[in-house]
């Protein structure tokens, strides 16, 4: 069983690395816009900092759940025709994800590539009466991810896309990569371990 768990861990690591490598190919915008209201602007000017917010306190907490929901759907779909252990894993994974708010403490500071986005003005810029603050994107990212001349592994930046078709395509490519490298090995190893 330990061999199967180690093999599964290695494949999961490869999938996460693949997604991370894809995220690393996305360039930071030259100017990153942070939409805020008057009180937010005053706070930024007085403190010299952009405050991070608990992701579940945002006006749209689905930002975290959006991609995860697609992953759960794909995992459940794959598990239907897979090994019984895959079905059990899919059920347990879904249960953990449903309780993610109790487990995860993610804090975010959001910026946009677009300095004049109607949705951003409505949601974060006081319905058009607020401010879109433009920051040097690469410098902002560097200050966030690097502390004391070394990269902080708990800080990262990445682009959020709400394009479901692109997200499904990305998960599909990752799934194909995973299948190509491990399907036969996983079934044989899990089957031997469970018997």
More confident residue, 52 or 16: 52
- Angle of CA points 148, 27, 62, to nearest 5°: 90
pLDDT band at 82 (very low <50, low <70, confident <90, very high): confident
Residue 185 has pLDDT above 60, yes or no: no
C-alpha to C-alpha distances, 103 to 68, 97, 98, 133, nearest whole angstrom: 14, 9, 10, 33
Prediction pTM value: 0.63
Collect all residues with Cβ–Cβ distance below 8 Å to 177 and sequence separation of at least 6. Answer: 14, 15, 18
Q: What is the pLDDT of residue 131?
A: 96
Whether 114 and 35 have beta carbons less than 8 Å apart is answered as no
Residues 6+ apart with CB under 8 A from 16: none
Q: Of 108, 107, 133, whose CA–CA distance to 38 is shortest?
A: 133
Checking if the pLDDT of 195 tops 50, the result is no
Confidence of residue 1 (pLDDT cuts 50, 70, 90): low
| Straight-line distance from the first to the last Cα atom of the chain, in angstroms, rounded to the nearest whole number | 10
Is residue 151 within 8 A of residue 145, CB to CB? The reply is yes
């Amino acid at each position: 069983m330990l061999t199967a768990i180690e093999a599964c861990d290695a494949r999961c690591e490869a999938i996460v690395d693949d997604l991370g490598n894809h995220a690393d190919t996305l360039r930071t915008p030259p100017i990153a816009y942070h939409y805020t209201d008057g009180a937010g602007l005053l706070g930024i000017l007085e403190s010299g900092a952009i405050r991070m917010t608990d992701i579940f306190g945002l006006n749209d907490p689905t930002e975290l759940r959006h991609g995860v929901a697609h992953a759960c759907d794909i995992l459940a779909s794959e598990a239907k025709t897979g090994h019984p252990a895959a079905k059990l894993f899919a059920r347990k994974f879904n249960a953990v994800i449903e309780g993610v708010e109790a487990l995860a403490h993610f804090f975010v500071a959001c910026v946009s590539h677009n300095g004049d986005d109607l949705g951003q003005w409505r949601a974060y810029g006081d319905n058009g009466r607020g401010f879109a603050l433009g920051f040097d994107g690469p410098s902002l990212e560097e200050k966030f991810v690097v502390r004391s001349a070394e990269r902080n592994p708990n800080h990262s930046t990445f682009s959020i896309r709400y394009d479901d078709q692109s997200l499904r395509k990305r998960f599909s490519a990752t799934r194909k990569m995973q299948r190509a490298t491990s399907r036969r090995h996983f079934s044989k190893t899990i089957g031997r371990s469970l018997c």
